[in-house]
Amino acid sequence: MLKNSKKIYFSLFEAVKNVDAGNIFLIGKLKLNGTELYDELRAKQAETILNLIKKFLLKYPIIKSSKQKGVTSYNKRRYPKDSKLDINKNIKSQFNLLRVSENEKFPTYFYYKKKKYILKIFKVKK
């Protein structure tokens, strides 16, 4: 989520022993505008995944699959330490970190004069 991507791809694939190695049944694409906060991202992600599952169930058992190509990839799990801001950088350069941090479980934070400060981000609704 921190790669400044405008699109995120989701694959519905066969579960096999090796990670991310099964045949692909369907691929879904989530378009982003770059202003979505954590909760909005998660809601859009859930909607995309549910749509893939619905399409799969409607086509099952005559749905075709294809072999995966390329290198295995997956995103690493985020930890609270991944939400640390650099007070010497501006907000714009760290906006993606702010927007993908969950305000309660892993809010963004920084240290100043040996004190820890937490920043939470909310979008103003018009």
Q: Are 86 and 41 in contact (CB under 8 A)?
A: no
- pLDDT the model gives residue 5: 74
Q: Is residue 91 part of a domain?
A: yes
Q: Is residue 87 part of a domain?
A: yes
Q: pLDDT digits over 26-60, tens only?
A: 999 999 999 999 999 999 999 999 999 999 999 99
Q: Is residue 125 part of a domain?
A: no
Q: Are residues 11 and 55 in the same domain?
A: yes
Among residues 67, 77, 78, 79, the alpha carbon closest in space to that of 20 is found at: 67
Q: Are residues 53 and 95 in the same domain?
A: no
Q: pLDDT digits over 81-123, tens only?
A: 999 999 999 999 999 999 999 999 999 999 999 999 999 999 9
- pLDDT the model gives residue 56: 96
Q: Are residues 19 and 50 in the same domain?
A: yes
Q: Are 29 and 7 in contact (CB under 8 A)?
A: yes
The CA dihedral of 42, 16, 73, 38, to the nearest 10 degrees, is: 10
Q: Based on the structure, what is the number of domains in the chain?
A: 2
Q: How many helices (H) and strands (E) does the chain have?
A: 2, 4
Domain encompassing residue 98: 80-119
Q: pLDDT digits over 55-90, tens only?
A: 999 999 999 999 988 776 667 888 889 999 999 999
Q: Is residue 106 part of a domain?
A: yes
- pLDDT the model gives residue 21: 80
